[in-house]
Amino acid sequence: MPNGSLETWLHPTACTARPFEALSLTKRMDIAIDIATALDYLHHHGTVPIVHCDLKLSNVLLDDDMIAYVGDFGLAKFLVQQDTMNSHSTTSAGIRGTIGYIPPEYGMGAQASVQGDMYSYGILLLEIFTGVSPTDEQFVDAMSLPKLVELSFPENVMEIVDHKLNNGQNPTGDYTDELDDIHQCLLTVIQSGLMCSKELPSERMDIHDVVKELNSAKEKLRDRTNCVDC
């Protein structure tokens, strides 16, 4: 894809052939919604649900217009309903993924599920808006990206968001009100990330609800900022 993967934009390295500008809040919102919309299609709008099983930054690709696409379906699973004696569901045998994004139940032999994808999406969402990788060296023992975020949420949410996400923003009008809208938007996004990455699969948000929450937060932000290209 023309603009490579989301990983090269959020975690550029010295080996990157070209410099990458920081992604603004609005652009990150657009990308997060693009990914959620793709998952909603896979989980709810096909003949049978499809589980991606390896959602991560490097599998999110960006086109010329910075529209995000979910790629690499090498580990994807079709979930077949157990409604007859001859039907079956995908088992956990051979399930792989990427450390940091794999839902905890997969390590205990659970079947592939849409809830498993939701965990990976929750980690991805937190990573997009904090700029912190789930495999960062600070995560030792029982510490993880969701637990790090929980420690600051909601009172100190602005302390954990990526300090580069405001680059390119162009506030207009009442600056105080606008900052409040940005704060409320980030609260919604971070809360959604935490709800998606719950330890128990039954407690995780459904992707359809995530799409609605993120779209609502984006519209409120856009109505206030009147940002042309942020």
CA atoms of 8 and 56, how far apart (whole Å): 12
Catalytic status, residue 223: no
Question: Contact 34/62 with Cβ under 8 angstroms?
Answer: no
Question: Contact 137/37 with Cβ under 8 angstroms?
Answer: no
DSSP reduced 3-state for 184: helix
Of 30, 54, 117, 181, which residue is the catalytic one? Answer: 54
Question: Contact 127/11 with Cβ under 8 angstroms?
Answer: no
CA atoms of 42 and 52, how far apart (whole Å): 8
What's the token pair of residue 74? Answer: 């090498």
Question: Contact 156/216 with Cβ under 8 angstroms?
Answer: no
The 8-class DSSP code of residue 102 comes to: S
DSSP reduced 3-state for 96: coil
CA atoms of 184 and 201, how far apart (whole Å): 26
Evaluate the CA torsion angle 116, 121, 126, 131 in order and state its sign: positive
β-bridge mates for residue 69, sequence order:
61
Mind telling me the catalytic residues? Answer: 54
